[in-house]
């Protein structure tokens, strides 16, 4: 109301839903924590057994509800605990991003990254970068919508 737009934008802290694979990225996030690597506390982590088990439903729902970004983390190419779930996830995420971008939600709100269990630093860097990108994009306009 009386808050200047400038101030609102700089105060904006994006909210990110992170769907992380149990075997790689979740463990990588754990490593970032145990190694005391600092990264922005903007993510809400949901552990999944495989990035390939992430139905596009769980990418679209947070975006519709007003989350500013969704991060899906899986194992590196060839490292999937279930042989090829991460490759399948890559295709599913590509479709979800395609659909969302057709309706004005930029692909930058949905990230899919391969991060292994030993890459705590990469995990922290990824979250840092994602938060910066989302700050530039601004809040998800769906926050204000109730007819979803």
Partner 1 sequence: MKSFVLNTQGDFWGTVRGFFRGLLTAGVVDLVLVPQETSSGRSVVSTLVRDPEKLVAPDPFAPLVLVSQAKVLGHLTFKDPKARIAAVCRPCEVRAAYELVKLKQVDLSRLLLIGVDCLGTLDPEVFRARLSGSGLKDLSEDWVASMRSGAASGVRSACEVCVEAVSGNVAANIGVVGTSPDQLVVEIKHELADEIAGALGLSAGEAGERAKALAALRTRREDARKTRFSQWRQAVPDLPALMAEMAMCLKCGNCRRACPICYCKECVFDGRIFDHESSSYVRWASRKGLIEMPTDTLLFHLTRLNHMGTSCVNCGMCESACPADLPLATLFAAASERIQAIWNYVPGRSLDDPLPLSTFREEELEPR
Residues engaged in binding partner 1 (CB under 8 A)? 55-57, 60-61, 64-66, 77, 84, 87-88, 90-96, 98-99, 102-105, 111-113, 141-143, 145-148
In whole angstroms, the minimum distance from the beta carbon of 96 to partner 1 comes to: 6
Nearest CB to partner 1, comparing residues 36 and 92: 92
- Minimal distance, residue 15 CB to partner 1, in Å: 11
CA–CA dist 138, 129 (Å, integer): 14
Nearer to partner 1, 42 or 51 (CB): 51
**Beta carbons of 92 and 70 less than 8 angstroms apart:** no
Distance from C-alpha of 33 to C-alpha of 17, rounded to nearest angstrom: 18
Q: Which is nearer to partner 1, 15 or 35 (CB)?
A: 15
Task: Count Cβ atoms within 10 A of the Cβ of residue 27 and give its class: 0-12 exposed, 13-18 middle, 19 or more buried.
Answer: buried
What minimum distance in Å lies between the beta carbon of 34 and partner 1?
A: 27
Q: Where are the beta strands (DSSP E) in 1-131?
A: 16-21, 43-48, 69-74, 110-114
């Amino acid at each position: 109301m009386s808050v200047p737009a400038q101030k609102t934008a700089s105060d904006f802290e994006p909210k990110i839903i992170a769907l992380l694979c149990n075997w790689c990225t979740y463990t990588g996030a754990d490593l970032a924590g145990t190694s005391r690597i600092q990264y922005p506390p903007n993510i809400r982590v949901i552990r999944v057994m495989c990035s390939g088990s992430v139905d596009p439903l769980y990418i679209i729902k947070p975006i519709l509800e007003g989350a500013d970004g969704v991060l899906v983390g899986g194992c590196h190419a060839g490292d999937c605990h279930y042989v090829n779930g991460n490759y399948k996830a890559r295709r599913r995420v590509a479709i979800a991003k395609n659909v969302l971008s057709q309706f004005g939600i930029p692909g930058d709100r949905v990230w899919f990254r391969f991060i292994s269990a030993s890459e705590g630093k990469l995990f922290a860097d990824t979250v840092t970068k994602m938060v910066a990108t989302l700050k530039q994009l601004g809040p998800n306009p769906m926050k204000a919508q109730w007819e979803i």
